[in-house]
Structure 1
Amino acid sequence: MDKVEVKSVAPSGGTEAMRRYGAELVGTFTLLVGGVGAAVFAGEQIGFLGVSFAFGLSVLAMVYAIGPISGCHLNPAVTLGLLLSGKLERRYALGYVVAQCVGAIVGAGVVLLLAKGGPEGYSAATQGLAANGFGDHSPEGYGIGAAFLAEVVLTFFLVLTVLGSTDARAPVGFAGVAIGLVLTLVHLVGIPITNTSVNPARSLGPALFVGGWALSQLWVFIVAPLLGGATAAAVYRTVHRPAAAITAAGAERALESERAERVATRRPVDTSP
């Protein structure tokens, strides 16, 4: 009985880049619709716990859906951490960030359009669209110092988990579980403080539609997560050395042997009456 031979065809450089960017755009779009959508449409019913799981489950699903293509960053802070730790080629970094921001903007726009279709309509400027904020715009009134520190520390947790769970020595196939759960955790801590960003793209999308205060406070939710991601990369490189470098996308793919087993064996056709 012959087995089907599994062959991998390397795409051209341009095609490979566009596949990665497309995956990041779709994944970040899913994160915004899933997480921000849960906060906007069901926040009063499911509370902080439900919204936290919505963000975590969105990422968990995307790790397995697009992780083998792009590594499922969905977040400029994660992209920065992977770049600084040597797990992402420099030539892809800017394209990843642009794709993430576009996906976040489109995702936030879709949530807003859906919300406007409700019986009472929806105003992003007055109702917030789950934008991140501090002071009067923090869910529990936390100031800028607490907001900045929370975003640095919580992003550090997230990015360090991404780096560690996609390390060459980590168990294969479990990165999505670890990343989804830590994103849930950081939202449980961060929602009362800032509505939880830990992701500049996630903050950018709603802020563009809210305008005003959201845009004026946006810098915190860009600078703090990037600082947290860079710190995570520095800690990872210190703790994990000397580790073999492997990309997040590579770590999130099935082993070659496992992929081969999924291909059905050739069987003779039964021609008996």
Structure 2
Amino acid sequence: MAAESSMLAKCTAEFLGTFLLIFTVGCNVLGKSAPWTGVSIASVLMVSIYGLGGISGANFNPAVSTALGISKILGGPGLDLQTVCLYAAVQLSASVAAAIGYSMLFKDSFALAPSRGYNLLEAGLCELFYTFMLCFVVLNVAVAKKVEGNQYYGLAIGFVIIAGAYGAGAVSGGCFNPAVAFGIDVAGPGFGLSLPYICFELAGAALAAVLFSVVRPEDFGGAKLNRAALVSEFLGTFMLVLTVGLNELGNSQAGAFSIAASLMCMIYALGDVSGAHFNPAVTLAVMVADGIAPAKAVSYMAMQVLGGMFAAFAYSFIHHGHSFALGPKAGFDMGQVAIAEFIFTFVLCFVVLSVAVSKTTKSSQMFGLAIGSCVTVGGCAIGGISGGSLNPAVSFGIATVGGSFANAVTYSAVELAAGGAAALVFKITHAVDNADEPKGLA
């Protein structure tokens, strides 16, 4: 067994990782690197996690450390209070050093504040939701006992920043980290807004720890319960549809990529809990191809649609009650929408079956990236035709606050048909999966 790193090594790793993260944030903002800012920040977080995760756990964020501390208090895996406090102190020190560094480099700084037209509550909710997502993904891919030894943890954690940067970032600035908020506030003109930002972020961390204990009770000394899978489906769909709405209403330049990232991250976090369908069309495809019980499939679909509807209320509230309608884009009709939605929902469902269900072509590490990338494919390819829903939970979520329930029914019917078609084609292409199974009575 390898020797554990010293506390000096751990604190040095936390300082270095946090410094690089916040220095990269400042350089991107002051260097005006949009639309690549979110990708750059996500990438430095990802590579730092892979580089330093084996030393300190690569928290680089007082909210993450707090979530780990609360998880420990609840009886699960995590950090002791002394380590949480020490890590947080180091992270905040690194944030100040990084903020001074980028300010000296550019001879400029920027303020921490909600974007023009948004208030502190709206910005705070964005910080809460995506700090929750970040901490929740960390707990599920880097701490949960069932996924020990996986190689996707850095990718999953880093890409939460892409999920949040382009939609939520347009409202709050996209910190999702008390050290980021504090460093920006210290270096920027005026000081004081970091405190409410930090409060919302820590609330997100606490929520992540509590829900981690709900979806993985076995890590807390309890027995696995059916409700864990249902909560998983609700949470994953909620974050997916929230990301859809925030990107659309924020006029994001990278909407499809951001939405794909949110799906990928939550699949990696919850794939071993519920299967991480987050989509009634996927659930139907899995039911037809893999034989899950219809009652279970219906309960999944209900939680997915409910999660989509709650998310729609959330993104509409953040944007002052504004919403957007589901329907064909200008110049296209419902027939063209049906073709577009069918083909790319088929792609999504078929890939899910191939990489997460098939016994012969199942990918043990890249399944989340493969499935999430289907949204990048479809969103870019047909976003200008149908909006690229590919998911009845998305369709009904959008219709909940934007109207067009008739369109939601049409979209959903096409998407469900695509899921069924994907299952049938999968049974043909992957017939070898069942070739060695005994025939007749079990």
- Normalising by structure 2, we get a TM-score of 0.47
Matching residue of 1:132: 326
Paired residue type of 2:368: G
- 1:142 corresponds in structure 2 to 332
In 1, Cα distance between equivalents of 2:304 and 2:387: 19
Question: 5+ unaligned residues in a row in structure 1: which ranges?
Answer: 117-121, 246-273
* Amino acid aligned to 1:228: A
Tell me which stretches of 4 or more aligned residues in structure 1 moved more than 2 Å.
6-12, 87-91
Which residue is equivalent to 2:315?
A: 111
Taking a change above 3 Å as real, the CA distance of residues 29 and 229 of structure 1, as seen in their structure-2 partners, is same
Equivalent position of 2:400 in the other structure: 208
Deviations 1:57-106 (A, max 9, x none): 01110111111101110100000000000153333111100100111011
**1:58 pairs with one of 262, 270, 286:** 262
Secondary structure, aligned partner of 2:388:
coil
Q: Structure 1 CA distance, aligned partners of 2:414 and 2:235?
A: 25
Residue in 2 that maps onto 1:260: none
Task: After TM superposition, give the deviation of residue 208 of structure 1 in Å.
Answer: 1.5
Task: Assess if the C-alpha contact under 8 Å between 1:107 and 1:205 holds in 2.
Answer: yes
| Structure 2 match to 1:164 | 354
CA distance in 2, matches of 1:57, 1:141: 29
Q: 1:11 deviation in Å?
A: 7.5
Q: Distance in 1 between matches of 2:380 and 2:235?
A: 25
What's the CA shift for 1:244? 5.0
Partner of 1:179: 371
The answer to whether structure 1 residue 195 and structure 2 residue 404 are counterparts is: no
Query: Quick check: which has more Rg, 1 or 2?
Result: 2
Query: Among residues 269, 273, 292, which one is paired with 1:69 in the alignment?
Result: 273
* 2:240 paired residue among 7, 10, 31: 31
Q: Deviations over 1:133-185 (max 9, x none)?
A: 02xxx1x3211110011111111011000000112222311110100111110
Residue among 219, 230, 237 paired with 2:409: 219
The question of whether the paired residues in 2 share the 8 Å contact of 1:168 and 1:243 is answered with yes
Computed over aligned residues only, the root mean square deviation of the Cα atoms, in angstroms, reads 2.2
Task: Encode CA deviations 1:199-223: one digit per residue, 9 max, x unaligned.
Answer: 1110101202122xx1232222111
TM-aligned CA distance change 1:244 to 1:17, over 3 Å? farther
The corresponding residue for 2:169 is none
Tell me the amino acid that sits aligned with residue 383 of structure 2. Answer: I
Q: Could you tell me whether the CA contact under 8 Å between 1:17 and 1:92 is conserved in 2?
A: no
Equivalent in 98, 105, 113 of residue 302 of structure 2:
98
In the alignment, residue 168 of structure 1 is paired with which amino acid? K
Partner Cα distance (2:272, 2:233) in 1: 11
Gaps of 5+ in 2: 2-144, 147-216, 436-442
Paired positions, count: 218
Higher relative contact order (CA 8 A, sep 6+): 1
Output the amino acid matched with 2:397. Answer: G
Correspondent of 2:290 among 86, 93, 99: 86
Task: Name the amino acid aligned to 1:161.
Answer: V
Q: Classify 1:175/1:191 alpha carbon distance in 2 versus 1 (closer, same or farther; 3 Å).
A: same
| 1:106 maps to amino acid | F
- Residue pair 1:35, 1:58 contacting (<8 A) in 2 also: no
Contact 2:326–2:402 under 8 Å retained in 1: no
Question: 2-side partners of 1:83 and 1:196: how far apart?
Answer: 23
State the distance in 2 between where 1:33 and 1:193 align. 21
> 1:91 and 1:123, CA in 2 relative to 1: closer, same or farther beyond 3 A?
closer
Matched residue of 2:250: which SS? helix
Deviation string 1:110-129 (CA, Å, 9 cap, x unpaired) is: 0001001xxxxx433xxx1x
1:160 and 1:192, CA in 2 relative to 1: closer, same or farther beyond 3 A? same
User: Do the aligned partners of 1:132 and 1:196 also contact (CA within 8 Å) in 2?
Assistant: no
Q: Give, in whole Å, the separation in 2 of the partners of 1:27 and 1:103.
A: 8
Identity over the aligned pairs, expressed in percent?
27
The 3 A distance-change label for structure 1 pair 162 and 87 is farther
For residue 273 of structure 2, give the secondary structure of its aligned residue in structure 1.
helix
**In structure 2, how many angstroms separate the alpha carbons of the residues matched to 1:57 and 1:160?**
19
1:239: which partner in 2? 429
Deviation at 1:16, TM superposition (A): 2.9
